[in-house]
Structure formats: structure tokens, C-alpha cells
Chain A
Amino acid sequence: MKLVVAIIRPERLNDVLEELFHAEVKGLTISRVQGHGGELERVETYRGTTVKMELSEKVRIEIGVSDHFVDPTVKAIIDGARTGEVGDGKIFVLPVEQVYRIRTGETDRAAVTPVGVPPG
């Protein structure tokens, strides 16, 4: 099992979700975060105060998947999130030690397999 963590542009979230849906990846968590990659700084002015926005709004997606689902998941995220400009984000694939489904107590592979799909 792996945990796929992706940091993407907020305006690409809908495209990414659409791609993930087509790739039949279900079960994910998103959070709004702020981060700094290599993108160009953005300058904003409020009356006499000019500020440089060092942090950009990003969305973090976390998806727990079984091993053979890692590639389709990563591909779907890249397809949805890429604009070709600096600031498109990153994808991290992390090993996962154990997974529990709270409702049933199922563990590991059974726990990351969506309901209704035979684990396989």
C-alpha cells in the first residue's frame, strides 16, 4: 500500500477530481494549504502597502491506494493538474505501514479498496 500525496493548484482541483474519477480512484481527502515552490512571486498593493505573496494557495490531496493503483493515480493527477507553468505542484508516493477501516476493522489492502469492489 502507498499513500499518494499531491500538492496542486486550487484552480486545477476540479480537473484532477475528474481525471481521478475516470481512473476509478475513489476515496480521497483534500485540504487547502499554502505553500511555496519555485513560482514567480506575486505582488499585491493595498493602499500604500505593497506586499510580496511568498506563499500561494494550494490544495493537498491524499489518497491511500494498493500498489497496482499507484501508477493510474499518479497519471490521473498529472493529467489533471499540469499547466506547464512553474507552480503546478508535486506528487509524493509514501510507503504505508498499516491501514484500518474504522467502520469494519478491516486492515491493509481490504481497507483501501473501495466498498463494492472485490480486492484484487
Chain B
Amino acid sequence: MALNASDTAWLFVATALVLMMTPALGFFYGGMVRSKNTLNTLMMSFSALGFVGLAWALFGYSVAFGRASQWCGGGEYFFLRGVTLDAQGTIPHLLFFAYQGTFAVITAALISGAIVERMRFGPYIVFITLWSLFVYAPVAHWVWGAGGFLAKLGALDFAGGTVVHINAAAAALVCALLVGPRKDYARQAMLPQNVPFTLLGAGLLWLGWFGFNAGSALGANRAAALAFVNTMLAPMATLVFWTILDLMRTRKATAIGAATGIVVGLVAITPAAGFVSPMSAIVIGAIAAFPSYFALLYRAGTRLDDSLDVVAAHGVGGVAGALLTGVLASKGWSGGAGSGLIDGNVRQLGVQAIAIVVTLLYSTLMTVAIVKLTGALTPLRMTAREEGLGLDVSQHGEEAYSRGEGAILLLDGRRSE
């Protein structure tokens, strides 16, 4: 196919939008931790832009989009060899690579929500880099790669409900269990330090998600328009139902609840975005509020310190979205690309379930292996004293809210007279 200028222009914008989602996630997460861990939490997202992004350019892209087998790609695109300006579909291959790279980055960063406020920064970086190569890239190949086996099976995942959200949530669960709870977990009240950060992050995530979902059409076309509008409608419905649940439970519509509801709606519509009608998107958004809402409440009473509820938001929301895609995918709206239960296609729901289970199993097992390997090389956790002091000071030598009182300027050898 030849290059198409409109498609290419839209993918430039979409790539930038999805790249912005990772800093946005940093603010979404950063608002919910204690102030002494603000910078560390933000850095867990920001550093993924570098480490995972580079790993993607050197190796990950080839593993995900190479053509070796239905299980994973080969080495033909290592070091970007062969990733040229020639057309891949209707956009330059190089732009396609960049767009997909932004997905690898945010998927790895999502996991950080399960281990904030206690994991050491070094092992975290090692973990997400390895994870992006050995877990994200193969799973992306199965669903989106050339001849991937879940794609051949007919699994529908428009923009990454399974590849991104279920995948990251399984890893988050494993990390929370293996790294262990924060020392203060279930002992002391740990309050969010900056709820406006979290709302800002949720808003920017929503903005970026237009690139994530509508960009996944890989062109400026009908599917993109459908995914775009569905990305607007579904979180609206989730926000409404989340607020109603909040009001019924505590008589207060919480701001963190609103931010969470928006993200859950975005997660749920991700696999369905280009396959379902706008009314179905509203239904998906509305339904998705319930399992995640109650999963959050349940989790908080357990010993599982999935600190920022990656499993409840991305795992439970992702599974709800992937299954509902199998129900509501419409031949008419998707231009024949997908059909679900409402079209009489009973098989689709089973295929969706297989894709979910396979991804959960693979991600869980591989994450255990990578965390164990990283933990064998270097301790995963801070000492209790450093954890008490906060990770900003102990890991980064900076403070988010430094008052500067009592700070004495050190002049190093080069500059002193």
C-alpha cells in the first residue's frame, strides 16, 4: 500500500498523545502516595520513557513485530535494521514503530502502582526493562504481530485491553505479592498527598487515550472515528455510575473515585473501541464500574498491598472490557472486523476468554521469573528505616516539596576559588 498523508498526520499526533500518557500516569499515581514518595512515584513512570523506550528500539519492536513465528518475532528489526520510511499499511514503518513503542512504555509503567513506596529504584528499572522485552513484546506479537496465534484464533483487542491492561495487572499482582506490603500497610492511615495531581493525571490520561484507542485504527478513517467517540462516551458512563456507587455507599462523591472511574472506563473500552456501537460503549462503561468498584473495596481489606489498585482498575476493568467486546462487537459498526454475541457469534466470547487466560498465565509466570531473577541479583526492597524516611530522599537525593531552610550550598573543587 502507498503512504497516505492524512493517516500519517493522525498517527504523528496519536503517537505524541500516547507518549504523554506515561507522565500523566506518573501524576495520577504520584497524587495518591505520601509526599515523601512523590518524586519516586513520578520517576517510576518517567524513567520507563527512557529505559523501556530504548529497549523497545533496540530489541522489543523486533520481538513484537518481527515475523519469525506465531509465538514471537525474530531478530530482523534488532537495532531498527529494516525499519524504514517505506509504507507499513498506509503510514511510514518508522512511525508505526514509534507509535507501538509508546504502548510498551506505558504498559511497563502501569505496574509501578503495585509496588510504590517501598521498592528500590535500581531493581525496578531492571525489572520493567526485562519485563517489556520478555512479557510485553511477545504478548503484543500474539495479538497484533504478523501471524500471532491469538490473532489467528480471532481474539478481538482493538487497542490493548489484553496486551496492555490485563498483562500489566497480572504482573502488578505478582510484584505486590513478591515485593511485599509497605511496612505501614494496614497499620497506619496512609493518605494521598495531592488529590489534584491525581485528577490532573486522570484528565491527561483521557486526553492521551484518544491517541491510544483512535490511533490504533492506524489511519484517519471510520474505525478511528468510532474508537474516538467510544473513548469519549465509555468513561463518561463509568464516571456517572462510579459517582452513583460512591453516593450510595458514603453519601459523598469522592474526587479520587471520579479519577478512578474515568480510568476504569478507559481501560474497559480499550479492547472494544473500534468494534462496538456508541450505545454499546456507554453500556460497557456503565457495567465496568461495578466489578472494579467492588474489587477496590475488597482489596483494601486484604493483606494484598497493590498500593494503587492496578489489579482492580486495569485487571478487573480489562477483563470486563475484553469479555464485553466478545458480547457487543458489531459487524455493522466494525465494518466486518469483529462480531460478538449480539451478532449471534457465540464463539467470540470463548475466544476472548482464552486470550484473557493465556495472557494472565504467561504474564504471571514470566513476572515471577523476572522478579525472582532481579531479586537474586540485588535486594528489591528498601530497609524499613529508608522506607520510613521516604524514597525521594533515599533513592533520588531530592525532595518534592523542599523548603530550603537549613540548606547549605556545597561548592565543589572545580568552582571554588
Contacts and interface: CB of A to CB of B under 8 A. Distances in A.
A55 interface: yes
A54 interface: yes
A120 to B, nearest CB: 33
Contacts of B393: 42, 44
A14 to B, nearest CB: 5
A45 B405 contact: no
Given A52-B410, A53-B407, A44 B385 contact: no
Interface residues of B, number: 21
B160 to A, nearest CB: 36
Nearest to B387: A11
A55 B410 contact: no
B183 to A, nearest CB: 10
B190 to A, nearest CB: 10
A62 B410 CA distance: 35
A29 B359 CA distance: 53
A49 B409 contact: yes
B410 A50 contact: yes
Interface residues of A, number: 21
A45 B406 contact: no
A51 B408 CA distance: 5
Interface string B387-399: 0111001000111
B402 interface: yes
A45 B399 CA distance: 10
B412 interface: yes
A51 B397 CA distance: 10
Interface string A61-92: 00000000000000000000001010000000
A107 interface: no
Contacts of B343: none
Given A12-B388, A83-B385, A54 B407 contact: yes
B38 to A, nearest CB: 14
A101 interface: no
Contacts of A44: 393, 397-399, 402, 407
Contacts of B397: 43-45
Nearest to B398: A44
A12 B385 CA distance: 10
Contacts of A14: 184, 187-188
Contacts of A12: 388
Interface string A4-21: 000001011010000000
A12 B388 CA distance: 8
Interface in B59-100: none
Contact of A54 (B385, B389, B406): B406
Interface string A33-45: 0101000001111
25 contacts: A9-B388, A11-B388, A11-B390, A14-B184, A14-B187, A14-B188, A34-B405, A42-B393, A44-B393, A44-B397, A44-B402, A44-B407, A46-B398, A49-B409, A50-B410, A51-B407, A51-B410, A52-B407, A52-B410, A53-B406, A53-B407, A55-B405, A55-B407, A83-B385, A85-B385
Given A51-B408, A54-B408, 19 more contacts: A11-B36, A12-B388, A34-B405, A36-B406, A42-B393, A44-B393, A44-B397, A44-B398, A45-B397, A45-B398, A46-B398, A49-B409, A51-B410, A52-B407, A54-B406, A55-B406, A56-B406, A83-B385, A85-B385
